[in-house]
Amino acid sequence: MARESESGLPIKPVYGPDALAGWDPAEKLGDPGAYPYTRGVYPSMYTGRPWTMRQYAGFGTATESNARYKQLIANGTMGLSVAFDLPTQMGHDSDAAISHGEVGKVGVAIDSIDDMRVLFGGIPLDKVSTSMTINAPAALLLLLYQLVAEEQGVSADKLTGTIQNDVLKEYIARGTYIFPPKPSLRLIADIFKYCKAEIPKWNTISISGYHMAEAGASPAQEIAFTLADGIEYVRTAVAAGMDVDDFAPRLSFFFVARTTILEEVAKFRAARRIWARVMKEEFGAKNPKSWMLRFHTQTAGVQLTAQQPEVNLVRVAVQGLAAVLGGTQSLHTNSFDEAIALPTDKSARLALRTQQVLAYETDVTATVDPFAGSYVIERMTDEVEAATLELMTKVEDLGGAVSAIEHGFQKNEIERSAYRIAQETDAGQRVVVGVNRFQLDLEEPYEPLRVDPAIEAQQAERLAKLRAERDQAAVDTALASLKKAAEGEDNVLYPMKDALKARATVGEVCNALREVWGTYVPSDAF
């Protein structure tokens, strides 16, 4: 029976030389570390050292998350990756009415510099690389991180890490937006400028397809809509007066890794090739680092199952292998129990050990791009590239990523893909082990990690204490300066940093910007 890839492209039972008829290796491949980077962005890739092993963690209070980070570092994690709770992601304080029931649930609650000090207490910020999964309030969390580092005696030019800062995908697939697109893009341009001047080693944005994939996007849709968002960010920065080579080397991307190894490898290769050509040919970037698509990968949470959760260990190992064979720069492997609850210490350690086995017990790090020249991989790379470019052209025809978002194009395409996947799963055409085949009559009990509901009251007490102790006049003055900058054209990060240093809360800073910029209401909400 003929099979199709996740992107709906045909997969032949056998591939031979005819699959690459007229195929030019010099044009399509190049050398590792050389344009168009199909074979990877660095000449040696993992033969010198493995990818950065990150573990995404954060729950409850800053104290609990700090303890988890220290355990991960002790277990061999090379980079931290911070999960924030929903109120923090939406720019609300823990004691706001809208935050009720969500404090500390899907990540750590950060309300002020006091919480950030606790979160990174005892962790040398000049020696770890930290990724923060935060979008609309990304500037605030970056500045809080900088302030805590400065208190540790670490200068900003020594800080390394990434803020996700990709608000366009929030309008498409995830929903944790605050401001309308235009001021959101202005804020991102301000972050680019600020980091160039103040935190030069920081990756200012992680343009994300992961959440689109979790919403149901196919591999071709995932990279098409992600690269289209990337183009929009580059255009925004150039329009704000920045030279493309001043910020493009600090751009990074964030993709998913599914269990379909062959297409995932092809997807990563196609994405690198497309981005290199866009940056070189469309934007005229001269610095080869501006052409490189550097990316972080997370294994596919959407493919984890609550049924027979231990089987997820196998899924995660396969997904991690796909990311490594595809040439990722850093990797987070999900814990096997994440379809049930937050990971336990043991499951988080097992997830990290999965990466360590891939890095140190297999031979996939012994040679660069082991699938190069494979009939099936090269053919699939070309086909994914063609499908991706077709979708990117449709986005351009609608006026670019923001205009396409306003038309609902990306969202509608992803929803159609998600519906197709659901239908195939329900019909048994798509096998999900333990769900629609190979089920157990009686599932073994599993005791998940649970967040203490008292955290919300504890955070409210911390906020009341903070407001009683701080210099309110200094906070008010700093917030007024922030609003004035937001109304004009000055970079908002400088007065924002002053406000946070004066112990203004995340909610207060975001509310000041809401007063000037408003909030986004999607058209389908009317």
CA 245 vs CA 160, 196, 234, 273, 280: distances in Å:
19, 11, 10, 18, 11
In this structure, what token pair is assigned to residue 463? Answer: 């906020």
Question: Which residues have a Cβ under 8 Å from the Cβ of 270 and sit 6 or more positions away?
Answer: 223, 381, 382, 384, 385, 388
Question: Which residues have a Cβ under 8 Å from the Cβ of 96 and sit 6 or more positions away?
Answer: 87, 507
pLDDT at 336: 96
In this structure, what token pair is assigned to residue 233? Answer: 């960010």
Tell whether the model's pLDDT for residue 101 goes beyond 80. yes
What the chain holds in terms of domains, given with CATH numbers, is: 3-48+127-426 (3.20.20.240), 473-525 (no CATH)
| pLDDT confidence tier of residue 450, bands split at 50, 70 and 90 | confident
Closest residue by Cα to residue 30 from 380, 324, 381, 321: 381
Tell whether the model's pLDDT for residue 274 goes beyond 60. yes
Place of tokens 């519906």: 419
Residues 379, 381, 384, 386, CA torsion sign: negative
At residue 109, φ and ψ (nearest 5 deg) are -85, 120
d(CA 92, CA 509): 9
Tens-digit pLDDT profile for residues 118-151:
999 999 999 999 999 999 999 999 999 999 999 9
Interhelix angle 181-198/219-239, rounded to 10 degrees, is 70
Closest residue by Cα to residue 253 from 41, 506, 476, 491: 41
Q: How are beta strands 10-11 and 3-4 bridged, if at all?
A: antiparallel
| pLDDT confidence tier of residue 496, bands split at 50, 70 and 90 | very high
Tell whether the model's pLDDT for residue 65 goes beyond 80. yes
Higher pLDDT, 59 or 145: 145
Mean pLDDT lowest for which of 70-79, 205-214, 494-503, 511-520? 70-79
Between vectors from CA 305 to CA 430 and to CA 133, what angle results, nearest 5°? 110
d(CA 30, CA 34): 6
The half-sphere exposure of 465 on its side-chain side, counting CA atoms within 13 A, is 10
| pLDDT confidence tier of residue 525, bands split at 50, 70 and 90 | very low
In this structure, what token pair is assigned to residue 312? Answer: 């997820």
Closest residue by Cα to residue 487 from 506, 513, 520: 513
| pLDDT confidence tier of residue 113, bands split at 50, 70 and 90 | very high
CB–CB of 103/455 below 8 Å? yes
d(CA 224, CA 243): 24
d(CA 47, CA 37): 17
pLDDT at 59: 82
Q: What residues does 295 pair with on adjacent strands? A: 253
- Helix H or strand E encompassing 160: strand 160-163
The whole-chain average pLDDT of the chain stands at 95
Closest residue by Cα to residue 104 from 90, 84, 89, 122: 84
- Rounded mean pLDDT, 100-106: 93
Q: Alpha helices of 85-135 — where are they, by DSSP H?
A: 86-89, 113-119
Tell whether the model's pLDDT for residue 448 goes beyond 80. no
The half-sphere exposure of 224 on its side-chain side, counting CA atoms within 13 A, is 27
What is the DSSP track for 236-250?
HHHHTT--HHHHGGG
d(CA 457, CA 206): 33
At residue 468, φ and ψ (nearest 5 deg) are -75, -30
- Backbone angle region of 180, left / alpha / beta, with phi > 0 → left and psi within -120 to 50 → alpha: beta
pLDDT at 524: 63
Tens-digit pLDDT profile for residues 2-12:
789 999 999 99
Virtual CA dihedral for 516, 225, 419, 409, nearest 10 degrees? Answer: 60
Name the pTM for this structure.
0.94
Tens-digit pLDDT profile for residues 217-273:
999 999 999 999 999 999 999 999 999 999 999 999 999 999 999 999 999 999 999
| pLDDT confidence tier of residue 1, bands split at 50, 70 and 90 | low
